A = this chain, B = another copy of it.
């Protein structure tokens, strides 16, 4: 499949998508997405990672069930910790409540998600820089998915069950799972990508300095940083 989506437009419109139709991801699209993902850079081009793609085999189904259980438990805890049930969260029409409803639907239907990818890395440094050899590939995967009309989101659901997933999927002990990425054909409508104003995310020449060019495009919509804590 080809796409006519412009590169800058793809970067600006790739947002977290958590509602999917039941449509499976076509094999040709899996090939296109994973090829695009693996064009991302790694330190010294070592390519010391693997994208473990969970499709429809019995072990994939079991892995999705394990991840779904974690997702539901973690989301229940996060709702309390991050104030999703209080303040405006009590009003079902509020953005907070709609975000919560979207998350609930996401975790409730985890096992039906068409595609789950576990990017795995053999770490070399035990430091932050290891991530530079795996998360660029994750981002390429999500942008390629967007270009092909899919949507996805990068999560950390694997964290508490990393050992079980290693055993189930024969992942070597010296390999870390870096993310749990879910992908599918978007269901319903999705809003724009929203961030903080560019002046808060970009500094020029020193931490607390800026420049005249640090300006969002006209019409940019903003959001607060992080989950709702108040109101």
**Residues of A near any B CB (own CB < 8 A):** 2-16, 27-28, 30-32, 34-36, 38-41, 43-57, 59-60, 82, 120-121, 123, 128-132, 134-136, 138-140, 142-144, 146-148, 153-154, 156, 159, 169-172, 175-176, 178-179, 193, 195-196, 198, 200-209, 211-217, 220, 223, 225-227
Least CB distance from A208 to B in Å reads 6
| CB atoms of A4 and B2 under 8 A apart | no
Counting every copy of the chain, the complex holds 2
Majority-rule SS of A interface residues: mixed
| CB atoms of B59 and A32 under 8 A apart | no
- Our pick among B35, B49, B136, B212 for the contact of A217 (Cβ within 8 Å) is B35
Least CB distance from A82 to B in Å reads 8
Other A-B pairs, 8, CB within 8 Å; known A7-B143, A16-B45, A172-B207: A5-B8, A8-B147, A11-B140, A44-B226, A47-B195, A50-B200, A129-B178, A136-B139
| CB atoms of B211 and A55 under 8 A apart | yes
With A131-B135, A136-B139, A225-B45 in contact, do A12 and B35 touch (Cβ < 8 Å)? yes
* B-side contacts of A57, CB under 8 Å: 204-206, 209
With both beta carbons as reference points, the residue of chain B lying nearest to A158 in the complex is identified as B129
| CB atoms of A138 and B128 under 8 A apart | no
